[in-house]
Amino acid sequence: MKLRERDLEIDFTDAIDAIVFDQMKASKPNYHGIGEMHRVDFVVELTEAILFVEVKDPGNPKARSEGLEKFYRDLSDGTLGDTFAAKFIDTFLYRWAEELLHKPVYYISLVTFEDSGLLPNFSDEIAKKLPPMGKAIPRWKRQLAENCQVFNIELWNQSFPKWPATRIASAENA
């Protein structure tokens, strides 16, 4: 099942179901309908797990400098981490309310950083912003996310050969 976010496409070849969760067009299937809630881009159901997938493309050759400056400013001051965490939490709540959270959830993001050195730090930052915020809480019997990790295209494709990510050529967008 192929899902696309602007110029990036991911083929979840072994998915039972895969939807564009961030769907705010009322005419489309899986219309979200609550603009006040943050949303991950895709929700993918596998046999034994659910993936929440967020995609950001600062490495897009067509990216404008103002947009890139804001992206890296938000990364630097923690705003981007806050946003990624909010996307997970609100999506989790929404799917819980739909009674569609019956499997372990994995939060994996594709961010087209050239510098893979940014990935582990950003992954840790997001994970620490998800409840229980890095704290040990003995009363909790389960965790919200089994894994919270950010990949660039190269590492994504090395890690998940069954979910190839590709940049769609500009000509196809025309």
> CB count, 10 Å around CB of 170?
11
Least distance to another protein, CB of residue 62, Å: 18
Query: Of residues 120-139, which lie at the interface with another protein (CB under 8 A)?
Result: 120, 123
The residue whose two tokens read 């809630």 is 37
Q: Closest CB to another protein among 83 and 143?
A: 143
Q: Binding of another protein at residue 146 (CB under 8 A)? A: yes
Coil, helix or strand at residue 120: helix
- With beta carbons less than 8 A apart as the criterion, state whether 84 and 145 touch: no
Q: Binding of another protein at residue 29 (CB under 8 A)? A: no
Q: Binding of another protein at residue 71 (CB under 8 A)? A: no
For the chain, the straight-line distance linking the first and the last C-alpha, in angstroms and rounded, comes to 23
Query: Of residues 47-66, which lie at the interface with another protein (CB under 8 A)?
Result: 48-49
- Report the distance separating Cα 23 and Cα 101, nearest Å: 19
Least distance to another protein, CB of residue 61, Å: 13
Q: CA-CA-CA-CA torsion for 73, 74, 77, 80, nearest 10 degrees?
A: -160
Q: Binding of another protein at residue 160 (CB under 8 A)? A: yes
> Which residue from 32, 92, 149, 153 is in contact with another protein, where contact means CB under 8 A?
149
Q: Binding of another protein at residue 116 (CB under 8 A)? A: yes
Q: Binding of another protein at residue 46 (CB under 8 A)? A: yes
DSSP secondary structure letters along 82-104: HHHHHHHHHHHHHHHHTT---S-
Q: Binding of another protein at residue 161 (CB under 8 A)? A: yes
The residue whose two tokens read 């969760």 is 21
DSSP 32: -
Applying CB under 8 A, the residues found at the interface with another protein are: 46, 48-49, 72, 76, 106, 114-117, 119-120, 123, 146-147, 149, 151, 155, 158-163
